[in-house]
Structure 1
Amino acid sequence: MRMNPLIQFMKQVQGKINSSVYASLQGQSSPQHVAFLRQLEKELKVEESLVVPLKELNVVVFDLETTGFFPEQGDEILSIGAVKVRGGVVQQEETFYSLARCNRELTPEIKVLTGIEECDVETAPELSKVLVDFYDFVKGAVLVAHHASHEKKFLQHYNWKLFRSQFKHRIVDTSFLLRIAEPNVSLVRLEDCCDHCGIPVVDRHHALGDAKMTAELWSMYVERIQALGMKNLRDVYEKLSR
């Protein structure tokens, strides 16, 4: 029997950071990292984002640039960009951006696409530090990404590889809102969605540039689905499950 998507989603988001991670972290991460994860666990327990009114919801919209599509085959995260959105208003000055160290040769396609060269990532911070800094920026906020399966797959893989921790943050995909607000419009690429909405396409395939454009999409479509009567994320997922 196919599980109701809302029930499946709630099962996914009810998890907490497994306390067993702390034992493994003691041997490979600093005490500060362990303390941070303990505090993050507390914040994730407290937040009830499914029922927070959308007009009050705090989210972090983010994007990853990677060497490819398959972390399980060795593809790596090159950079993370993020921007905060409060109550549907993009906080242009509250941003996060970092390159992550990568010692492998980048393909010509990736270099052209992202503008990132080997010299940029050879001396960048280790990914473990970048992720901890990113999660510190996020804290208990809901994560948002455009067609988020790519980002989720990489974070799941590297959370386990680096920290022996399951990825437990909540991620909302902007395509969910587009599907509800404009069910007859079929758009996939971020630049096509932005063109459709009159959002300038700036710094495409730069992690922070993509995060900012996605944040504008999120802000616009949150307003639209509220006008359709949806008050919170629970309403969104109930609508999608029908």
Structure 2
Amino acid sequence: MTLDPFFFMKGKLGASQSQQQVAYLRQLQREMRVEETLNIPLSDLNVIVFDIETTGFYPDQGDQIISIGAIKVKGEVIKEEDSFYSLVKYDKPLKDEITTLTGLTNEDLKDAPPLSEVLFQFFRFVEDYTLVAHHANHEKNFLQQASWKLYRAPFKHRLVDMSFLYRMAEPNGKLITLDECCEHNDIPIFGRHHALYDAKLTAELWRVYVKKLQKLGCESLNDLYEEIAKG
């Protein structure tokens, strides 16, 4: 599922549609069984690897999401045909450094759908899958803030930080950036700071590290968390 960033009509959501979205998301939250994913073998675990681009690092200080990209993965299989991407409407002038970093301009974002619509479509795409992101605190902070502000619903999806996998598989490594992780694993780097392309690079890393962890006897998320807890 690739979302055309200009698919949605301009304007705010109608009250009835907004209420339907809130009801859907709250029902999804009630039905989620995140604990059940803990013991599924990593080779069988369905995950959605995603990335967001933002105007800064601090959602509580007004920084906002300007694009979301995601792709479905099962074990070592990346489902190229099953992806999500959308720009997000932003009315303020973008900082020059954000335009330089992401390649996005004010013109790109002015007719994009609002965050309420993009997040709703994103959560419909995600359903109750486990989420994966590179250094996931950034994504988590923005999704928590937006989910509560827009829908008065908590962000309850399990979110796996890829840094856990790096630390577990290569405890003596000093991999920090996405570029460093990709170069270390001979993954060709392309389209950096485009949300969907960064999600695809992270998906390639997920595939590599699932295999590395299995060789170490770490078969599930539960195994991973137990090893990390041992410290």
Question: After TM superposition, where is structure 1 displaced by more than 4 Å over at least 4 residues in a row?
Answer: 26-29
**Residue aligned with 1:56, SS:** coil
1:118 to partner: Cα distance: 0.3
Count of matched residue positions in the alignment of Structure 1 and Structure 2: 217
Instruction: Identify the residue that residue 116 of structure 2 maps to in structure 1.
Output: 128
Of 166, 170, 173, which aligns to 2:154? 166
Instruction: Identify the residue that residue 219 of structure 1 maps to in structure 2.
Output: 207
**Residue aligned with 2:172, SS:** coil
2 CA distance for matches of 1:67 and 1:236? 33
TM-score by length of 1: 0.86
1 CA distance for matches of 2:229 and 2:19? 42
Of 154, 158, 169, which aligns to 2:142? 154
2 CA distance for matches of 1:236 and 1:46? 15
Instruction: Identify the residue that residue 59 of structure 1 maps to in structure 2.
Output: 47
Relative to structure 1, the CA distance from residue 46 to residue 72 in structure 2 (aligned partners, 3 Å threshold; closer, same or farther) is: closer
The worse-fitting range, judged by mean Cα deviation, of 71-80 and 29-38 is 29-38
1:30 to partner: Cα distance: 3.0
2 CA distance for matches of 1:164 and 1:143? 20
Q: What percentage of aligned pairs have identical amino acids? A: 55
1:230 matches 2:221: no
1:138 matches 2:120: no
Instruction: Write out per-residue CA displacement over residues 180-204 of structure 1, whole angstroms, 9 at most, x where no aligned residue.
Output: 1111110111011001100011100
1:164 to partner: Cα distance: 1.3
Structure 2 unaligned regions, length at least 5: 1-13
Instruction: Identify the residue that residue 183 of structure 1 maps to in structure 2.
Output: 171
**Residue aligned with 2:32, SS:** helix
Instruction: Write out per-residue CA displacement over residues 24-58 of structure 1, whole angstroms, 9 at most, x where no aligned residue.
Output: xx967535314422542354137611111111100
1:99 matches 2:87: yes
1:132 to partner: Cα distance: 0.6
2 CA distance for matches of 1:92 and 1:223? 19
2 CA distance for matches of 1:180 and 1:40? 32
1 CA distance for matches of 2:16 and 2:155? 18
2 CA distance for matches of 1:162 and 1:178? 34
Instruction: Identify the residue that residue 12 of structure 1 maps to in structure 2.
Output: none
Match for 1:73: what amino acid?
A: Q
Structure with more of its chain in helix, by fraction: 1
Q: CA RMSD in A?
A: 1.6
TM-score by length of 2: 0.90
